[in-house]
Structure 1
Amino acid sequence: MIKELVTKGPKRDMDVKAPVHKFGRHFSNTIKGHPKGGLDDEGYKDWRHASGRLKKHEVGLEHFKNMNEWFELRQRLKCKETIDKVAYEQFKKEKDYWKQVIIRIVGLVKFLAKYGLAFRGTNEKLYQKGIGNFLGLVEMLEEFDPIMKEHVRHVLNEECHVHFLGHNIQNELIQLLGDKVRIEIIKKVKQAKYYSIILDCTPDTSHQEQMSIIVRYVNFNSSSMTVEESFLGFLVVNDTTGLGLFEVTCKELESLGLDIGDIGDMRGQGYDNGANMRGKNKGVQTRFLEKKS
């Protein structure tokens, strides 16, 4: 981190106004980038004389000493002649190795998610029975890819404590990729402007009621226009009344940045035959229509 800060230098955004404190004062752009004033240990709060104090600090011995060390280290980094050169090269090699491992693991997660395949079995140890599709693909890839071959060797020999093959990293990558896909879907919906929603409730294996939400829109591209339906996710539902489902749906649409003010851009709704969904008095459908009117 020190090397990155020295190489790239301090970041000074002159276009952002500093926050105002309770007495209405704030740092001006002329003194931004100087986090300290007397400044190295006890802090500084004499705002009225801040500019003068900073100028005094800039000509001080401690400031010149630190600046000299900074410039010297930056020059040595450019010439790759630092005292920890060998250690840094080893660190960079290790970083590149883990980057390549993560790229391959992400590729496996994308493949299984794309085709709706199960990830895990009953065992999470390589080359044992019941390991599931994810670790099975790791074993297959290890036969052909030198990076994964080396990684699997480290895992089997217990040479690394963190190996990124467990269920936690799988779940985290699924979540991150799902969030990215959802962002891209919302971009398309906003480009189309008008959309419809399709809702359906069903309990999961733990008997927790959940509602699936699907958005229907026109996808524009350079060559054609197609009507698409995209699954946005499952919503946990604790209140299955029409009001409860309506509030959960509105909250989700708002969090996605979709316009629901007077149902501005929503042009259609699709539900099952449940009274809490399409009931003419207190169903979700009726509440949306009342909001629009």
Structure 2
Amino acid sequence: MNQDQSIQVALDRQTDFTKKQNRIRLNTSIDSVRYLLRQGLAFRGHDESKESKNKGNFRELVSTLADQNEAVHNSIRNAPENCQWICGDIQKEITSYFAKITLKSIIEEIGGDVFSLLIDEASDASDKEQMAVVLRYLSKRGFIIERLVGVVHVKETSAICLKESLQKLFTDIGLSIQQVRGQCYDGASNMRGEFNGLKSKILQENRSAYYVHCFAHQLQLVIVAVAKKNEDISDFFYMISVLFSVVGGSCKRKDMIKEKHRDDIRKAIGSGRISTGTGLNQDQTLQRAGDTCWGSHYRTLSSIVKLFPAIVSVLKYVQKEGKSDKKSQARGLVAYFETFEFVFYLHMMLHILGSANTLSQSLQKKGSGYPECHFMCAINKN
């Protein structure tokens, strides 16, 4: 320390240096958070101790930035243990600021104008019920925009609880129920109930908040319900589910189907029965269907048609080499696949579901007039 220098000046210089070093470390953490948020990557690692070889995305990214910049490296190396700006609480705080800034820009873009409300609920990995809230509005440039504005934890999925949680979210971000001009939910009774559904409770406050049940969703539910009314079709889809239990439940059998399909493609190309070109003759896999995953039944049946010889070959292998329970199931599937009924139902449902899939895709297009479908499509596919 310079003896001719006053203590105040020395303290000021030390304070300025400390501020500069803190700012370097904080900016490094902010840049790391921004990158991980933009890419949708996880922050934390399983082991973030000093001895760990992989401390998680955030800490590893900070370390990489330090290796590329000498100033950052020196600042982090000489940082005290309680001022490194990398702990979990700091990560959450920086993330929350980014969320507030993003949400603020969305609210400013709405600018007190009206919007449509899209809501769905689902449980997360920790089995907590979460309500996703999306707003659909017209931007100042005349484009239709959909923005996620909140994922709210709800104690239960009753209409009252959902309404209270939605009201609290609107109060926090500066919106009002009176701005709502459309509601789009699924067909669950707690959402679309005529007297006690969320739709009705919002309509009690705002008569202009018209409810629209996603048309693509309605189409899929109708097809599934009608199909299950027919016993033969119901048995057909049951046998398809058994097929996935026998073949789709084993990685080895999936690989066998792929390899057999590749061999068939090579032989067909060699004999000139099929042509080659960009995008043709791609690897095929069996795709499991879901009642609310639109178009999944069509994709399932399409994959069965394309992979049918390979599927039968693998089933015959399981019939000989598999376990006792799988042997009997494989034997029953092979016998069923050789019947006229199976072939007829397969091609009939493929034709029906193909037409329905075309209509469903049209309903989900931006210019279809039914834009509410897009959000519900994303929620149900996930």
Fold match by TM threshold 0.5:
yes
Match of 2:176? 259
Q: 1:239 aligns with which of 126, 148, 156?
A: 156
Give the percent of matched residue pairs that are identical in Structure 1 and Structure 2: 27
Superposed CA offset, 1:143-191 (max 9, x none):
2112221133236xxx543211121211111112112211111111225
The question of 1:196 aligning with 2:113 is answered no
Is 1:90 aligned to residue 10 of structure 2?
no
Assess if the C-alpha contact under 8 Å between 1:217 and 1:229 holds in 2. Answer: yes
What SS does structure 2 have at the residue aligned with 1:240?
coil
Report the secondary structure of 1:225's partner residue: coil
Measured in 2, the distance between the counterparts of 1:240 and 1:92 equals 53
Between the aligned partners of 2:29 and 2:124, the Cα distance in structure 1 is 28
Compared CA separation, residues 152 and 99, structure 1 to 2 (3 A): closer
Q: Does the CA contact (< 8 Å) of 1:219 and 1:226 recur in 2?
A: yes
Q: CA deviation at 1:135?
A: 1.2
Residue 247 of structure 1: CA displacement? 2.1
Partner secondary structure for residue 33 of structure 2: helix
Q: Does the 8 A contact of 2:180 with 2:206 survive in 1? A: no
Higher relative contact order (CA 8 A, sep 6+): 2
Matches within 5 A, 1:210-225: 210-220=130-140, 224-225=141-142
**3-state SS of the aligned residue for 2:143?**
strand
Structure 2 letter corresponding to 1:140:
T
Partner of 1:166: 87
> TM-score under structure 2 normalisation?
0.50
CA distance in 2, matches of 1:187, 1:240: 30
Q: 2:84 is aligned with what amino acid?
A: H
Question: TM-score scaled by structure 1?
Answer: 0.64
Amino acid at match of 2:118: I
User: Are 1:190 and 1:258, in contact at CA under 8 Å, matched by a contact in 2?
Assistant: no
Q: Where does the alignment leave 5 or more consecutive residues of structure 1 unmatched?
A: 1-80
Residues 126, 139 of structure 1: 8 Å contact kept: no
Residues 127-206 of structure 1 aligned to structure 2 (within 5 Å): 128-154=52-78, 159-190=80-111, 193-206=113-126
CA contact (8 A) 2:25 2:76 kept: no
| Aligned-partner Cα distance in 2 for 1:127–1:284 | 52
Measured after TM superposition, the shift of residue 206 of structure 1 is 2.3
Is there any run of 5+ residues in structure 2 with no aligned partner, and where?
208-382
**Structure showing the higher helix proportion among its residues:** 2
- 8 Å contact kept, 2:150–2:169: no
Number of corresponding residues: 203
Does structure 1 residue 120 correspond to structure 2 residue 37?
no
